Structure formats: structure tokens, C-alpha cells
Amino acid sequence: MAITLKLNGDTHTVDAEPGTPLLWVIRDKMKLTGTKFGCGIAACGACTVHLDGDPVRSCQTYIEDVGDSEITTIEGLNSAPAQAVQQAWIEVDVVQCGYCQSGQIMSAVGLLTSNATPTVDEINDYMNGNACRCVSYERIRAAIRRASEIMEA
């Protein structure tokens, strides 16, 4: 069935069956591959995107439930917190394999948008659903603190 999506500032119409996860519409229909498939059960966070600015796991978000919500993927990030996060991620060299990092960044932007100066405990609690098999956690904490500084400056 034809579904209209608001994605990264544009409106698109795609053909997808009800029950299709937003993840696979983004990746296979829209060919936006920055959003990653990691587990398919919302246990790793690699597929995190924003719906109206809030992080959601796109593998457990069904396409018919998206409605008029504005979808933002890693490719569409441009807010001040997003720019700070991406700059901090580069400064700290957070990434290793990098496969989870789109999701990490989408969650970190969500955190800093709602809480510009999170404590370490708040960072840990918020980011706990985003797994990194390369264990970049120490650098994720450092980069979020650094992004917070950049935002304050």
C-alpha cells in the first residue's frame, strides 16, 4: 500500500505493507543506509531514528503507526545539539567499527536536546539501550560531555 512519510524535511510516498518496520522502509525503500539493522527486537539501538525529535527504535516502529510524524535519520541531522554531538564524536574519535554509532549519535542528540548538561549517571541511564560491541562506552560518555560543553560555549 502507498504510505506518505515525512522524512528529513521532505515528503515521500512509498509502497510498503502494513507491519513493515520503519527500519526496512528507510533502508531498503528509501535507500538511506545510515540507520542500521542490528537485532530487529529493539535490544541494541543501532536502528535509532527520531520521530518528532524523540529517539525511537525503527525496527519496532511499524510503518502504519508513523502517521504525520517527522522522521529524522542520521542523514537528516542538523540541529545545534546534533552538530555538537557529531563534532564531539570526531574530536574524541569515539568510533571503532562504527556500525552502532548512527544509533548512538541519534540517542545522544535526543539526550542533549532534552537535557543539555547531563550527569554521568544520566548519560549512562539514557544510553543504556544502545549497545556497542566494540565497547566505545568510555568515549561515548566523554563525547557527550564534550558536546554539552560545545553547546554551552
Partner 1 sequence: MNLVTSRRSFLQGAAASSAAVLVIGIAPSGLMAATNGADTTMLNPFVKISNDGTVTAIIKHFESGQGPATGLTTLIAEELGISMDAIDYEFAPVNPQLYANTAFGGMTQGTGGSSSMYDSYPQYRLAGAAAREVLLQAASQEWGVPVTQLTIEDGTISGGGNSASLGEFVEAASQLQAPQDPQLKDPSQFKLIGNASVHRKDTPPKVNGTAQYAMDIHHDNQMVVAIKRTPRLGGTVASFDDSGASDINGFIRAAVLPNKAGVAVYADDTWAAFQARDALDVTWDNSAAESRSSDQVFDELMAAVNEAPKYNVSETDQSEVATAIDQANHVVEETFYFPLLAHAPMEPLTCTLEATDDGGVVLYDGCQTPTGPQGAIAQILDLPSEKVQIETMFAGGSFGRRSTSNSDYQSEAAYAFGMTDRSRPVKLVWSREDDITGGFYRPAFAHKVRVGLDANGNIIGWDHRIAGQSIAKGIDVNDAAAPNGIDHASVEGVFPTPYTIPGMFVGLTDIKPATTVSWWRSVGNTHTGYVMESMMDLAAKAAGRDPVAFRLDHLTEDTLEQQRMAAALQMVAEKGNWGNAPEGHAQGIAVHMSFRSYVAEVVEISGDVDNGIKIEKVTCAVDCGLAVNPDVVKAQMQSGIGYGIGHAMRDEITLEDGVVQQSNFSDYEPLRITDIGAIEVHIIPSTEVPTGVGEPGTPPSAPALANAIAVSGPRVTRLPMNKAGVTFA
> What residues line the site for partner 1 (CB under 8 A)?
17, 20-21, 24, 27-29, 31-41, 43-44, 46, 73-75, 77, 86, 89-90, 93-102, 105, 123-125, 127-128, 130-141
State the minimum distance, in angstroms, from the CB of residue 153 to partner 1. 19
Q: Residue 75's CB: how many other CB atoms inside 10 A?
A: 15
| SS3 (DSSP) at 85 | helix
Alpha-carbon torsion (17, 19, 20, 22), positive or negative: positive
Question: CA 64 to CA 54: how far, in whole Å?
Answer: 18
Nearer to partner 1, 51 or 123 (CB): 123
Nearer to partner 1, 69 or 87 (CB): 87
Nearer to partner 1, 43 or 80 (CB): 43
Q: Which three cell numbers stand for residue 30?
A: 528509501
Question: CA 99 to CA 121: how far, in whole Å?
Answer: 25
State the minimum distance, in angstroms, from the CB of residue 9 to partner 1. 15
